Amino acid sequence: MSQKATAMEESLELEELDVNLYRSKKLWKPVGARGVFGGQVVGLALAAAAKTVPDHFHVHSLHSYFLLAGDNTIPITFRVYRVRDGKSYITRGVSARQHGRVVFVLNCSFHVHEESTLVHQMDMPNVPPPESIKSEEQRLHEWLKDPRAAKFHKTIQMRLENPIPVDMRLIKSKLVGINDKEPRQMMWIRAKGRLPNNMALHHCVAAYCSDYQLLNTSLIPHGLVGASERRALTMITSLDHAMWFHAPYRADEWLLYVMESPRSISGRGYATGRIYTADGRLVISTAQEGVIRYTETPPAGLPAPGKAQAAAADDGKQAAAKL
């Protein structure tokens, strides 16, 4: 008897409509989001491209643009363009459409395994093991019991009822010596459930996971990471997303995601990421830029952006900032 598909596998399933043409089966819109989760769109587009290349080719890079918010009430269709088929490299393009419009485009390149003596990597930071960090669900349940966060209980309950199929464990800055204002954060991630031994699937899962929290890193220096502070934002949405796959890994085993934001300017935030296996191998690098806009005059009773730390002295706002 075949093993039941995990929630992550179901999120990345495609229906083949014709040669080079595929359709999504299940789309996820996070609570409070403008549209379909961007990471899922990246993962689905990569899955469509991977279906058109031989099994011994594996993706080594992808570059994509988010053009319009995806509608989770109807499927997205993915058309694959066979740009080039070489002996060592294969190139594919993918366009994602809804309502007759292109909502997302992706270019990706696949490579056969190649040995090289020129090998180096940046070392993995020293962090607490994932087992010592609370999961997102555990933290949400704690906040649900906290009367100081009563105004956010409805949102918390909605998030618990509509979970992401990823086990995420955000590492508190103080545990690794990061200043609260430093544009850097780290978290352990892995897909929930055991996945098949299919490297193409593990690449798509990593693409799905890599979009979560990355752009938020650019908000940290501006005190816009808490629930009340985030309400001062008028828009936060990804513009483009890029990934480089360096070495094999399993996406259902713990991966450390190290995220940094070197620059924010002109209403855009830029962030980069490095993903390591638990034994310290750097297996993926990421980069993303997105729109980050906020109101100069926050709603009544909310602290102005950049003053969140001073406002956090109040117990109620301390609880809100944790969200």
Q: Which residues does the annotation mark as catalytic? A: 211, 238, 288
Q: Rounded distance, CA 168 to CA 191, Å?
A: 9
Report residue 269 as tokens. 């935030």
Identity at 282, one-letter amino acid code = L
Q: Is 121 exposed, middle or buried (0-12, 13-18, 19+ CB in 10 A)?
A: middle
Q: What is the DSSP string of 25-72?
A: S-----TT-SSS-HHHHHHHHHHHHHTTS-TTEEEEEEEEEE-SPPPT
Residues facing residue 238 across a β-bridge: 290
Q: What are phi and psi of 130, to 5 degrees?
A: -60, -30
**Under a CB-based contact definition with an 8 Å cutoff, are residues 284 and 246 in contact?**
yes
